[in-house]
Amino acid sequence: MTMTIQEIRKMTGLSIVNFAYKYHIPYRTVENWEAKSEKQRRECPRYVLELLERAVREDFNIEDEF
């Protein structure tokens, strides 16, 4: 199952600002992906979630949970 952007970011322990900076994603984009309000929230594309999860696991030496 694909993780949410917030779950992926929380694995790093980084703030939204630092996560956005590290992965070269505009801050507002990450903020919109994590928005609490249905009206403000934008869906992060699944392929982006999968690529970010892989990058975070590699960058932070996090093992898969399988």
pLDDT in tens, 3-61: 999 999 999 999 999 999 999 999 999 999 999 888 888 999 999 999 999 999 999 99
d(CA 47, CA 41): 18
Q: What token pair was written down for 41?
A: 């929230």
pLDDT the model gives residue 36:
87
Amino acid at 65: E
Long-range own/partner contacts, residues 60-63 (CB < 8 A, 24 or more apart): 60/11, 60/12, 62/11
- 3, 5, 6, 20, 36 from 65: Cα distances, Å: 12, 17, 17, 24, 26
